Amino acid sequence: MARITLDGIAHAYNGNPRSDKDYALKPLHHVWEQGMAYALLGPSGCGKTTLLNIISGLVIPSEGRLLFDKTDVTNLPTEQRNIAQVFQFPVIYDTMTVAENLAFPLKNRRLPKVVIEKRVAEIAEMLDLTRVLNRRARGLTADAKQKISLGRGLVRADVSAVLFDEPLTVIDPALKWELRSKLKAVHRALDLLMIYVTHDQIEALTFADKVVVMNDGKAVQIGTPADLFERPEHTFVGYFIGSPGMNLLPAKVSGSSALVEGAEIHLGAAYPALPKGGRIQIGVRPDYTMLTQSGGLPVQVRRIADLGRKRLAYVNLGAHQVVATVPPEMSSVAHQTRVTFDPAHTHVYVDDLRVAGAAA
């Protein structure tokens, strides 16, 4: 059972990093609580896999300390960290049956045969592998093999953390849901710390209690799915979470209202002191940007996308492109129409960082 502490962990590829650019992973201070599920989410090349490899011991960080509970494991080799890992493609021992695969880690620890069999049966039951226990592992489907790979980690009662490196990459889209719900069920059943790397926000938000959104080597925001959606602390999070991403418009903010393209809109809070010279923007998600016949700001409609359960309007607000939601009752949409921003969900950003306003 482990609580992982990242104390100023950073990693630069060449020896002496001079500028930010040389860091594959910028300094990070964070504590991962025992029994929680975390997701490392970000575009490819954002450093999420590097961070995972630092925890697994494949990569030794150039700076900072990594602690499992109290012990400093920064330079400890993988085998002594007692972690489990599921890789991008299924890694199984072809020559063994499913049962032998699952028993393998316990056999290496020379546990008594009886204990091994009980534990293997237990984990096989949890992962629906009981039926195929005696079949050779090679012939199974990709998702079954990934379950075996996971099972090899879970059979060890004292595993400190379970790491996932984009485990659903090779799984058939139709089966992804089933494996996702299995992972969630496993997490609920076993009080284990799980860390899941992915570039797909649905997988991240579904699986994790807390999501670490990363971009360009930096952990931009760490929060619950609701935090990330409702209160993105950084414009990148606004853009990356939610499909399509948050609308961002340059604005001049004074008190509890903002001037956008010369028109005034109300804000949910008051922003008395904003640093001068900073790039000020307001951010609103398309879900809270509604088309309307009256009030709000004038826009030209470029395109309507009918998603069946909702309709999105791609509109131009002056020189800026905005995505708005077409209210269900508005059957036909004129080329010239107006759009309103829900004040409660309008955020103010200075140099890409969210500024919390005082209560209006």
Partner 1 sequence: MTDKPFNNRAWFFVVPVLAFVLFSSIIPMMTVVNYSIQDTMGANNFFWNGDGWFRDLLNPSTEIGARFNDALFRTLAFSFAALAIEVPLGIAMALCLPRRGWGVGISLVVIALPMLIPWNVVGTIWQIFTRADIGLFGAAITGIGIHYNVTQDAVSAWVTIVVIDVWHWTPLVILLSYAGLRAIPDAYYQAARIDGASRWAVFVNIELPKLQKVLVIAVLLRFMQTFMIYTEPVVVTGGGPGSATTFLSIDLVKIALGQVDLGSAASMSLVYNLITLTVCWIFYTIMTQLERRRDA
Partner 2 sequence: MTFVLDHIGLSVGEEVMIDDVSLTLEQGTMNVLLGPTLSGKTTLMRLMAGLDRPTTGRLFADGVEVTRLAVRRRSVAMVYQQFVNYPSLSVYENIASPLRVAGVARAEIDVRVKEAARFLRLENLLERMPAQLSGGQQQRTAIARALVKRAGLVLLDEPLANLDYKLREELREELPRIFAETGAILVYATTEPTEALLLGGVTITLREGRVTQVGPTALVYRRPENIDAARVFSDPPLNELAIDKHGALVTLEGGRNLPAVGALSRLADGAYRLGFRADAVTIGEAQSSSLGFPGQVAVTEISGSESFVHVDVGLGVWVCLEAGVQEWQPGDHVEVRVDANRTFVFDAAGKLAATPYIAKTA
The residue range among 28-36, 40-48, 275-283, 347-355 that interacts with partner 2, by the rule CB under 8 A, is 40-48
The residue range among 126-134, 159-167, 170-178, 254-262 that interacts with partner 2, by the rule CB under 8 A, is 170-178
Least spacing, CB of residue 92 vs partner 1, in Å: 9
Q: Whose Cβ is closer to partner 2: residue 206's or residue 337's?
A: 206
Could you say which of 18, 21, 110, 188 contacts partner 2 (CB under 8 A)? 188
Q: Whose Cβ is closer to partner 1: residue 13's or residue 89's?
A: 89
- Beta bridge partners of residue 338, listed in sequence order: 292, 298
Partner in contact with 152, chosen from partner 2, partner 1, none, beta carbon below 5 to 8 Å by kind: partner 1
Q: Torsions phi, psi of 290, nearest 5?
A: -105, 140
C-alpha distances in angstroms, 316 versus 34, 288, 319, 322? 47, 17, 7, 6
Could you say which of 205, 222, 297, 322 contacts partner 2 (CB under 8 A)? 205
Could you say which of 275, 277, 295, 308 contacts partner 2 (CB under 8 A)? 308
Tally Cβ neighbours within 10 Å of residue 134. Answer: 9
Question: Cα(339)–Cα(314) distance, rounded to whole angstroms?
Answer: 11
Tally Cβ neighbours within 10 Å of residue 218. Answer: 18
Question: Cα(322)–Cα(302) distance, rounded to whole angstroms?
Answer: 10
Could you say which of 181, 264, 278, 360 contacts partner 2 (CB under 8 A)? 181
Q: Whose Cβ is closer to partner 1: residue 94's or residue 306's?
A: 94
138 φψ region: left (φ > 0), alpha (ψ -120 to 50), beta (else): alpha
327: Cα within 13 Å, side-chain hemisphere:
11
Partner in contact with 217, chosen from partner 1, partner 2, none, beta carbon below 5 to 8 Å by kind: none
Partner in contact with 96, chosen from partner 1, partner 2, none, beta carbon below 5 to 8 Å by kind: partner 1
